[in-house]
Amino acid sequence: MNAAQKDRAPRFEAHLIDRLPPVRGRLTENAPLDRVTWFRVGGPAEVLFKPADREDLIAFLEAKPAEVPVTLLGVGSNLLVRDGGVPGVVIRLGRDFARLSAEEGYVLAAGAGALDLNVAKAAQLAGIAGLEFFCGVPGTLGGALRMNAGAYGAETKDVLIEAEAVDAKGGLHRVTVDELGMSYRHSDAPADWIFISARLQGEAGEPDEIARRMGEIQRQREDSQPIRTRTGGSTFKNPPGHKAWELVDRAGCRGLTVGGAQVSEKHCNFLINRGEASAADIEALGEEVRRRVKEESGIALEWEIKRIGVPLDESPAETAGGAA
């Protein structure tokens, strides 16, 4: 966040935190989210909750006032937080949700807060092949379950046996992959479900050979994606029979800018924050790309990036520096 943005940073003043149940984890008021998402933009969470463990999460959801909205955040690698912040409670799963352990039959049990990279590494060390594609996805397993993340010819649904999730009232659900209705970058899981763990099926593999394939995947990513920039990954889903990047390119949008946001020159289905962008710049650029693609090809691109929170001018939060 630059100095001008800091001046305009909104703060929620309603002290929602006073109406929330006690927890063993951490509750933080007005927690900045621009530091924890890949785009490095956006306003604060009214309250950020990091549960100590699953019992803490469940007890909190059971006791919290029903009308308080809850939003789940992984590591924000497919997410745009709007500039007015996120009203209600934002939950991030901490260390206790990142456990990984190999089970018999080439199964990996994983907490939903684990980074996909660590899922791939744990499987490699245990000689479990077939999970190496996770090293190409820079999110958490929870995000991968929600988005059916995939890379290099494999998707989460191909290796998922079952997952555990908690609903908005604290109810625990254990579901098989078939019950989740997963398809391209989509799962039918109810919107209020918070994934907390999963079991993944691999097959026998040589750790050295798995490590070699992971190295290959990471090299290919490095060559084709702007992975060292502030970005949100693939912006739009590939429409059936088309590649989103080709449609964006054909509509003349490669390098297009709005404020501090730009369509990546390297991979034009990625939007990047050149350093000074607001969330509004990034969203406006995405909408301009959609408009141009529709005009050029007749195809309506669908956002893959999840957009959460409210714009600055609709935020119930007070703005520190006065006018936005």
Is 234 designated active site?
Answer: yes
Q: Which CB sits closer to ligand FAD, 234 or 319?
A: 234
CB of 91 to ligand FAD, least distance (A): 8
Q: Is 92 a catalytic residue?
A: no
Backbone angles phi, psi at 49, to 5 degrees: -120, 125
The alpha carbon dihedral of 309, 312, 313, 316 has a sign of positive
DSSP code of residue 72: E
Query: From the CB of residue 176, how many other CB atoms can be counted at a distance below 10 Å?
Result: 10
Residues 90-149 close enough to bind ligand FAD by CB under 6 A:
93, 112, 136-140, 142-144, 146-147, 149
What distance in Å separates the CA atoms of residue 223 and residue 105, rounded to the nearest whole number?
35
With tokens 């929620």, the residue in question is 12
For the chain, the farthest-separated pair of C-alpha atoms sits apart, in whole angstroms, at 60
Q: How far is the CB of 7 from ligand FAD (least distance, A)?
A: 27
Sequence-ordered list of residues with C-beta below 8 angstroms from that of 95, at least 6 positions apart, any chain: 113
Which of 12, 38, 49, 236: binder of ligand FAD (CB under 6 A)? 38
Q: Is 75 in the site for ligand FAD (CB under 6 A)?
A: yes
Which member of 234, 264, 278, 315 is catalytic? 234
Q: Are 94 and 103 in contact (CB under 8 A)?
A: no
- What would the DSSP string read from start to end of 95-153? GGG--EEEETTTEEEEETTSBHHHHHHHHHHTTEES-GGGGG--SBHHHHHHHT-EETT
Assess contact for 240 and 302: CB atoms under 8 A. no
The Cα 297–Cα 244 span in angstroms is: 11
The one among 84, 150, 205, 260 contacting ligand FAD by CB under 6 A: 150
Size of the site for ligand FAD (CB under 6 A): 33
Among 5, 78, 197, 235, binds ligand FAD (CB under 6 A): 78
Residue among 151, 177, 217, 279 that touches ligand FAD (CB under 6 A) = 151
Catalytic residue among 185, 230, 290, 292, which?
185
State the nearest-atom distance from the C-beta of 295 to ligand FAD, in Å: 27
Interaction of residue 261 with ligand FAD, rule CB under 6 A: no
Asked if residue 306 binds ligand FAD (CB under 6 A), the reply is yes
* CB-based contact 22:295 (threshold 8 Å): no
Q: Is 44 in the site for ligand FAD (CB under 6 A)?
A: no
For ligand FAD, which stretch binds (CB under 6 A), given 51-59, 122-130, 188-196, 292-300? 188-196
* Catalytic annotation present for 304: yes
From the CB of 72, what's the least distance to ligand FAD, in Å?
4
Q: Which listed residue (74, 84, 202, 286) binds ligand FAD by CB under 6 A?
A: 74
Q: How far is the C-alpha of 235 from the C-alpha of 154, rounded, in Å?
A: 19
> Catalytic amino acids?
185, 234, 304
Residues forming the site for ligand FAD (CB under 6 A): 38, 72-79, 93, 112, 136-140, 142-144, 146-147, 149-151, 193-195, 225, 227, 231-233, 306
